[in-house]
Chain A
Amino acid sequence: GAVVSQHPSWVICKSGTSVKIECRSLDFQATTMFWYRQFPKQSLMLMATSNEGSKATYEQGVEKDKFLINHASLTLSTLTVTSAHPEDSSFYICSARDDRGVDGYTFGSGTRLTVV
């Protein structure tokens, strides 16, 4: 089946620094990928839709300058949390949709970001 690799699985960074999270589709091409954010004991909240070769579409209330998304190839999307602050600490999860239209949406294993 389809596999999405998300890296790193966890990261601790200092306030004011930036952190990059990678999302790779390993055995399929994904023109469209998605980034979610999940706070403890809450549901997954869609942050943005990442499209290969074009600008990401951000959901209402999500700061595009804070959460930079780059989808430079059909198998890789990155989310960069810029000038991170403690309130950015969360679980970030990516998802990829197979261009062949099979297997629906495949999720990565998530990245636990802690900003200290």
Chain B
Amino acid sequence: GESVGLHLPTLSVQEGDNSIINCAYSNSASDYFIWYKQESGKGPQFIIDIRSNMDKRQGQRVTVLLNKTVKHLSLQIAATQPGDSAVYFCAEDQAGTALIFGKGTTLSVSS
């Protein structure tokens, strides 16, 4: 699978590969993090979330990892499918005030 250590604006993978999308957040006081998927012309769609008292959370085909030491968040998608093609954003909730979005990564899945 494709793995990137730093945030990249685009990620291209083959169908069936695992994808890893990275995100750096800004506020060490943030205690809740969410990954969103956004398709063209639509609003963000919730994928998975994690609270700051955890370092890993798994969903269906997706895993989120949180490293508070370096303020880093990653989203792992297993067995990536063409339907996963979209822009992915991480967002941090700064103590319940508002969600602040990071830079997005465009995931392209080719079959």
Contacts and interface: CB of A to CB of B under 8 A. Distances in A.
A43 B98 contact: no
Interface in A42-58: 42-46, 49
Contact of A43 (B34, B43, B46, B102): B102
A30 to B, nearest CB: 13
The interface size bin for chain A is: 20 to 34
A115 interface: no
Interface string B89-111: 10001000111111110000000
B41 interface: yes
B61 interface: no
Interface string B22-51: 000000000010101000011111100100
A34 B99 contact: yes
B65 to A, nearest CB: 19
Nearest to B32: A104
Interface centre among B36, B43, B99 (most CB of A within 10 A): B43
Interface residues of B, number: 20
B89 A43 contact: yes
A34 B45 CA distance: 16
Given A34-B98, A44-B89, A49-B97, A6 B49 contact: no
B41 A46 contact: no
Nearest to A42: B104
Contact of B101 (A6, A43, A49, A106): A43
Contacts of B101: 36, 43-46
A21 interface: no
Nearest to A10: B41
Interface of B: 32, 34, 36, 41-46, 49, 89, 93, 97-104
Interface of A: 6, 34, 36, 42-46, 49, 91, 93, 95, 104-110, 112
